[in-house]
Amino acid sequence: MSSSSSFFTSSLGRKFVMGITGIFLITFLIVHVGVNAMVFLDSSGELFNTAAHFMGTNWLIRSMEFVLFAGIILHIVQSVVLTRANKAARPEGYAVSGSNVNSKWYSRSMGLLGTLILMFLIIHLCHFWVEARFGIWGGIPEGTVAGTHDMFAQMKIIFSNPIIVAVYVLAMISLSYHLMHGFQSAFQSLGLNHYKYTPAIKAIGIWYSIIVPVLFALMPLYVHFVINK
Amino acid sequence: MSEGNMNLTLKVWRQKNQKQKGELVTYPVSNVSPDMSFLEMFDVLNEDLVEKGQEPIAFDHDCREGICGMCSMFINGRPHGPKEGITTCQLHMRSFKDGDTVVVEPWRATAFPVIKDLVVDRSAFDRIIAAGGFISVNTGNAQDANALPIAKEDADKSFEAAACIGCGACVATCKNASAMLFVSAKVSQLALLPQGQPERYSRVQNMVEQMDKEGFGNCTNTGACEVECPKGISLENIARMNRDYLVAKAAH
């Protein structure tokens, strides 16, 4: 006999959506950091521009853009609904909290870390994505081939400002801690907890949450301190 | 004061009833033996209060041997106090030092309203159990135990889940006041055994639905519940419940 309640509005269903969108966003980060890494391979920026051009024009990638935005929005909407429910579940807090003894601070601060990442994301999209698509603030400089974007040149402009570089680096610290909890937590929410695989998932999660944000953070630093010199 | 005994300052939540607002009230307690249990220390304090003509502090307690799950006290920010793997009745005053200030609060959750002082209403747990935490069997003699082969590993895991005493420490310590550890233990203890199979997927749906209705929060996998659980219930049970719930909703 099936119960009448809907999966997607239940507590477990919402957590499932958080987990599955989280893992999807984790896979997106691999692609993104891969494209970024082209800058380290070729400091003339040609390789990076080729990769960026492919990402901006390939039909499959372009259609995934919609899925990506949908994933981000779902992840945010669910987190807001869940956080509100969590607050309602304990309106009156404790006078003394010993939570530092039984859990990690970043596992309890996912909402805060996520908000910081969202704020960064808006800034970051304005710098590159909005400019490439709509050119609101003057657009991206034109590439060597007419009609293409010189994303590398745009990067050099954006990252000439040390404050922006600092914002990017700080955002990557937030991302690192968000992933540190989120990576393994997503698997648990999907019910994927097994004595054979969970230790590996946790280890990969820790490495991932360090390596990927570090690679991301290195790019604005590299452009600001090496390429722009 | 005999040697080793200590003086403590207690700050205890006093609340007349569900309607009225409560507050922390300070009580100095002197000459506390380190061999007393935390509840015995409360007994001494209460006798003192009665002698002074004051209202004694209401607190839940029953077996005083760590198996009933009644002694719900949030002590210095942690359910059942600073030690792990024990209930409040198993906490001894030797865990504290002379001159310590000890803050004692009730479980805090919308689903666990305070009845009086440190006593909360945990009947939400009973309603979750009534929603599906059972097996339906015809009455009669129990069949021979060997007639039903169960893998040792499954029997052990089921037994570990069944060790849950429903004390509510998981809810109390969870930053979201989530009851996932409790519900998942009650789902798992039956899901792991052959006797639990006929109702396995309706059980998980009904129990989760009731849990949501009661107003418990959601699981953010901080793992605090597992650390504070006096019976060491594992987070594996929550993953099992998530799995079973997904299968139940997808295919049953």
Is B229 near chain A, with CB under 8 Å? Answer: no
Residue ranges covered by each domain of chain A = 9-88+104-227
Tokens 């801690």 locate to: A177
Please say whether the beta carbons of B67 and B52 come within 8 A.
no
Structural domains of chain B sorted by starting position, each given as residue range(s) with its CATH number in brackets: 6-115 (3.10.20.30), 123-251 (1.10.1060.10)
- pLDDT at position B8 over 90: yes
| Distance of alpha carbon B59 from alpha carbon B72, whole angstroms | 8
pLDDT at A136 (0 to 100): 87
Please say whether the beta carbons of B235 and B178 come within 8 A.
no
| Distance of alpha carbon A113 from alpha carbon A181, whole angstroms | 11
pLDDT at A7 (0 to 100): 93
Number of separate helices (H) and strands (E) present in chain B: 8, 7
Residue % of chain A over a pLDDT of 70:
98
- pLDDT at position A6 over 70: yes
pLDDT at A138 (0 to 100): 84
- Average pLDDT on B231-248 reads 97
Q: What is the CATH number of domain A9-88+104-227?
A: 1.20.1300.10
Please say whether the beta carbons of B228 and B159 come within 8 A.
no
Give per-residue pLDDT as tens, A37-62: 999 999 899 999 999 999 999 999 99
- pLDDT at position B44 over 50: yes
| Distance of alpha carbon A152 from alpha carbon A81, whole angstroms | 39
Of A89, A99, A191, the CB nearest to B177: A89
Residues in chain B with CB shorter than 8 Å from the CB of A82 are: 218, 220
| Distance of alpha carbon B143 from alpha carbon B154, whole angstroms | 19
Is B90 near chain A, with CB under 8 Å? Answer: no
| Distance of alpha carbon A187 from alpha carbon B100, whole angstroms | 42
Residue % of chain B over a pLDDT of 70:
100
Give per-residue pLDDT as tens, A150-172: 999 999 999 999 999 999 999 99
Strands in B78-79's sheet, in edge-to-edge order, are: B23-32, B6-14, B101-105, B74-75, B78-79
Give per-residue pLDDT as tens, B131-188: 999 999 877 887 887 888 999 999 999 999 999 999 999 999 999 999 999 999 999 9
Token pair of A225 as six digits: 């301190």
**Closest residue, chain B, to A16 (C-alpha):** B242
Please say whether the beta carbons of A89 and B110 come within 8 A.
yes
Is residue A50 classed exposed, middle or buried when 0-12, 13-18 and 19+ CB atoms within 10 A define those classes? middle
What is the rounded average pLDDT for all residues in chain B? Answer: 96
- pLDDT at position A1 over 50: no
Contacts of A22 (CB under 8 A, 6+ apart): A75, A182, A183, A185, A186
Q: Among A210-224, B58-72, B138-152, whose mean pLDDT is lowest?
A: B138-152
Residue to substitute from A7, A11, A185, interface B, most B β-carbons within 10 A: A11
For residue A121, the 8-state DSSP code is H
Instruction: State whether A93 and B217 contact (CB < 8 Å).
Output: no
Give per-residue pLDDT as tens, B91-123: 999 999 999 999 999 999 999 999 999 999 999
pLDDT at A229 (0 to 100): 84
- pLDDT at position B30 over 60: yes
Residue to substitute from B95, B219, B222, interface A, most A β-carbons within 10 A: B222
- pLDDT at position A2 over 70: no
- ipTM at complex level: 0.92
Q: How confident is the model at residue A4 (pLDDT cuts 50, 70, 90)?
A: low
Please say whether the beta carbons of A89 and B178 come within 8 A.
yes
Residues in chain B with CB shorter than 8 Å from the CB of A11 are: 178, 208, 211-212, 216, 218-219
- A26: distance to nearest CA of chain B, Å? 18
pLDDT at B2 (0 to 100): 74
| Distance of alpha carbon B202 from alpha carbon B182, whole angstroms | 18
- B78: distance to nearest CA of chain A, Å? 5
- pLDDT at position A18 over 90: yes
- pLDDT at position A90 over 90: yes
Alpha carbons within 13 A on the beta-carbon side of B198: 5
